[in-house]
Structure 1
């Protein structure tokens, strides 16, 4: 074991604060990573505040991790010291079920191990995440990061990026398709970038007129204000695919009605309350309503390689580690363009 420092929540009503703990030593298949940057995901806030009622304290959040390899185990063949690498939402899975064998570890039928607040499969307790100085991860769950990209802006790709990439790729979004992206936040802004890069005609739906200019800058061909009933009516039945990245309560039927016959709406935002669906929104044009969860290791590596080739990263705001509570408060107000990233060099040397 080796001493490590990070930032942790010790209770649902406690502010995140410096925290000293121990990481496991580098095993034969492990990669030890010095963390340079860690993105801030809304799920970090959910977990820190126990809003999903499953948090085990102390909780060290963070699953958008980028850094450099400090040490590798004797059995590691994929990485060497100095490599630029990333770690996303998963650090283990059963590796034996059909989903794992297919490269979709996020759907592990025996339950994947989250990068934080997960139960380690080797009896090492609860996993601690990327709001920390270093992390040790099995090589099977470590990703190569292209050297050509801005390292800090890569961090959100490990969650926000793959969460939008996976459904766009699975449903084969591309040229000749009219694609809607609902919501321009951490997820939505990556959805716009990817859908445009894939050659689709991209329409952004937002409730805020202030986001029209940014939506166009990020790659949308058109921006529709979803609060305008006439504008929504003009879009009815025109879309092959819609990616809904909104995590707040909203009328899902308004977007289902925009789909063509056999069109698909995929939900990646996770509202707290169930979304009522009118069955006739689906029946009348044989529409599909689906969901998608992050992404597996092979498709995450594919995404990073694509981003390296096309120069795609997230739009970020850099913060210090001691600014995390301010960042959470701003995130709740949707006051970020479009993802906070922590400079881990600002983490205190001692808790």
Structure 2
């Protein structure tokens, strides 16, 4: 019996919920949840914004905890290992994408909170291939957000072979953007943050931005024409994308990791004449997550987290829903003796 927190309806309050689990699959592991981050995707699923939520709904896909059980065919993880689980919890492991190491692009990948119960619980199960060990230097309280928000902004850096000499800008200094600034700075890039307030400007500089641009000042945007090799957009709202495209260098790239639901309206000529690109990517594969964790530990990168206890779970949800998190809310589900850095 797994004890969890679930909502019965869209936008409903999370309440204690129990469900039975059968025998552990031969390729599965069971994780004792110590911490779980609250991602905006949890809110979108809770509210059924994407039209695919099944109730009762147990959110939670930024899990950090300990392995409690391993299936008979699992040999790379053992009971007691410190691990994390992100947005994806299983793959076919035989399609072209999986065989190429791009498990995150598997056409039949299982999502941790889509059609199954997530990590707002005392335990959660997943296919062992989707679970990644934590380096000793990463504390479990910091780990959860790395498995979704962290790898989401790290993934395009790897996929497009971003050079350390690149000039990169970030749109949206929030849950994803504040980690992107740290990654890019440690990568060696010249980092610019698009901000709209003095408070965010100071925070962006402290997080690793070398420069800031006022996103509400048309003059500043025009003055930055031809400046950036890449812009990473972490927001989920529509903006004047052509204004941002004009700040790209020739062969520059506007890359989306925030799920903008409205169609993107851009002209072809600004892209064509500068041979610029628009792209997007989801979370990363387990191998990319593992690489990201090593990079994070080496450079002592940490998401800024606000810790909530499990009896404050609805407070944490509302904190994120109202855009008050600075910058990631994390729920502690179990008292832990984790003494990692």
Q: Same fold (TM over 0.5)?
A: yes
Provide the C-alpha distance between the structure 2 equivalents of 1:198 and 1:117, rounded to a whole number of angstroms.
Answer: 33
Q: Which secondary structure does the structure 2 equivalent of 1:269 belong to? A: coil
Provide the C-alpha distance between the structure 2 equivalents of 1:61 and 1:317, rounded to a whole number of angstroms.
Answer: 18
Provide the C-alpha distance between the structure 2 equivalents of 1:329 and 1:116, rounded to a whole number of angstroms.
Answer: 19
Q: What is the number of residues matched between the two proteins?
A: 335
| Aligned residues of 2:222 and 2:243 also touching (Cα < 8 A) | no
1:174 Cα deviation from its structure 2 partner:
2.9
Structure 2-normalised TM-score?
0.94
CA RMSD in angstroms comes to 1.4
What is residue 58 of structure 1 aligned with on the other side?
56
What is residue 284 of structure 1 aligned with on the other side?
273
1:301 Cα deviation from its structure 2 partner:
1.1
| Aligned residues of 2:68 and 2:80 also touching (Cα < 8 A) | yes
- Gap runs ≥5 in structure 2: 336-341
User: Does the alignment pair 1:219 with 2:208?
Assistant: yes
Q: Which secondary structure does the structure 1 equivalent of 2:93 belong to? A: coil
What is residue 162 of structure 1 aligned with on the other side?
151
User: Does the alignment pair 1:252 with 2:249?
Assistant: no
Provide the C-alpha distance between the structure 2 equivalents of 1:320 and 1:41, rounded to a whole number of angstroms.
Answer: 16
Aligned with residue 89 of structure 1, among 87, 90, 110: 87
1:169 Cα deviation from its structure 2 partner:
1.3
User: Does the alignment pair 1:18 with 2:7?
Assistant: no
What is residue 184 of structure 1 aligned with on the other side?
173
Provide the C-alpha distance between the structure 2 equivalents of 1:276 and 1:329, rounded to a whole number of angstroms.
Answer: 32
| Aligned residues of 2:38 and 2:320 also touching (Cα < 8 A) | no
Q: Which secondary structure does the structure 2 equivalent of 1:263 belong to? A: strand
| Aligned residues of 2:142 and 2:305 also touching (Cα < 8 A) | yes
- Change beyond 3 A, Cα 1:252–1:23: farther
User: Does the alignment pair 1:41 with 2:30?
Assistant: no
Q: Which secondary structure does the structure 2 equivalent of 1:204 belong to? A: strand
What is residue 141 of structure 2 aligned with on the other side?
152
What is residue 117 of structure 1 aligned with on the other side?
114
1:30 Cα deviation from its structure 2 partner:
2.2
Of residues 328-337 and 181-190 in structure 1, the stretch that sits farther from structure 2 once superposed is 328-337
Structure 1-normalised TM-score?
0.92
Of residues 317-326 and 241-250 in structure 1, the stretch that sits farther from structure 2 once superposed is 317-326
